[in-house]
Structure 1
């Protein structure tokens, strides 16, 4: 297992290559127990002493990348402390696209605990933003009576970019913004519509009755998976699925995310 110093150095190299004008710095978040390695994280902060509201950023199945760094810096420019965490490298993995990573949800709560303890963060106003796999982890973290009861410190709200909605009940403990492309063939928009409506549909097990008013769903027409990944302008096929950047959808999503966090976290 590489040392934490080398892990952080690798993240710094990646982040600097992605954006030479970074707003943040590297840090580490303690593991959930004595046997768990610390989580490397990219921490972006607004100027000033704060305290500020904050957002935990969760990467996709391919690991920590430019998308997570870009969102952390964007959030900092809006006045939020943002911690983009790396859930794969400390576990010796480079991808979980074929398997998933349940631990990422628990990593999110570790990051929440870390942020809430910082003097420059408003502990009662921490949200989360997850991308693809991270979006599914965000839904899991916020769903009523799933893992949320295990943690005394709570997320105030969450954003999920093209998450896997199949199997999620959609009954959330906090406001949740879900953004997905109509042409997404990896995490289908139809599954998210079913979740938001409480319908069983084609995807996942039967859904129990419940209040799904916390879910705000936005579906972008003519838009594929990974639509906020600017490096995929020409599109690629991965694991049989089409991934492609969509500038118009990304710009609209950024406006919606900013308004959503202003409404739910303040600023």
Structure 2
């Protein structure tokens, strides 16, 4: 190939005429909430829609950090969901209240049953008002403390405001099921719980008790336990290890780490469950 032609191709690429895969950049949105504003990061597919949507709930470390608005775990999953045509809204429950990581907090300043639940409601209301959203296809996904909040959000006792659309389905990654199991949890929408069999930060056995107890008086509820997997099994690049009490962005005691087989299976199950 002649040099002038090579230079022309290089110039054409540099000018942006060749599509090069790059992570999608989220948009910051502000959502009215009681007592202030709920900031959130929005990943939106190209086009006019209407798109199915997912409200994605961060864990105890928070949505972002000092260097990024969205931690790699959530950006990674947002990319996966974008590929299936979903818009993804990630409420920043901690940053919106000027709260740092809550993994070691003795008294949580954004609890699953109150503040996080209120944020879910505000996020759903905001999404339902957007003309590019399919109002009847809004799903809910959560990790860790966000997944625990999800368990409260799908309970039948939580009454929806008049005209509010119901969630289509929900997926909870390694929630703390212990309180819900004691209170006789059930769900009004199909709910999938994914947890590692060796998760010693939350409790697989409590999740089993919770889901088994809901049978016959609940919408579809399923539990998948991944043998040998730990907490954060979907967090790519993190080798299984014992957490350190010196790190405020991880739970104080227990094991966490990536499990490629569990992550791969979770991707398939998430896409199927949200596509119901």
Aligned to 1:170: 185
Matches within 5 A, 1:66-81: 66-81=72-87
**Take 2:159 and 2:154, find their aligned partners in 1: how far apart are those partners?**
6
Deviation at 1:150, TM superposition (A): 5.4
Q: Map 1:78-227 onto structure 2 (within 5 A).
A: 78-97=84-103, 98=105, 99-100=107-108, 101-102=111-112, 103-145=115-157, 147-149=158-160, 152-153=163-164, 154-168=166-180, 169-198=184-213, 211-227=217-233
Change (3 A) 1:30 1:173: same
CA positional deviation for 1:108:
1.3
Moved more, 190-199 or 149-158: 149-158
**Aligned position for 2:55:** 56
Q: Unmatched 5+ residue regions in structure 1?
A: 1-19, 200-208
TM-score normalised by structure 2 residue count = 0.78
SS state at 2:195 partner: strand
Q: Is the contact made by 2:230 and 2:240 (CA closer than 8 Å) also made in structure 1? A: no
| 1:68 shift after superposition | 1.8
CA distance in 2, matches of 1:120, 1:235: 43
Change in 2 beyond 3 A, CA 1:235/1:40: farther
Figure out how many residues of one structure are paired with residues of the other and give that number.
Answer: 232
Question: Taking structure 1 as reference, are residues 231 and 29 closer, same or farther at Cα in structure 2, changes over 3 Å only?
Answer: farther
Quick check: 1:142–1:148 contact (8 Å CA) kept in 2? no
Cα RMSD of the aligned pairs, angstroms, is 2.0
Question: Which residue of structure 2 aligns with residue 12 of structure 1?
Answer: none
Contact 2:45-2:82 at 8 Å conserved across structures: yes
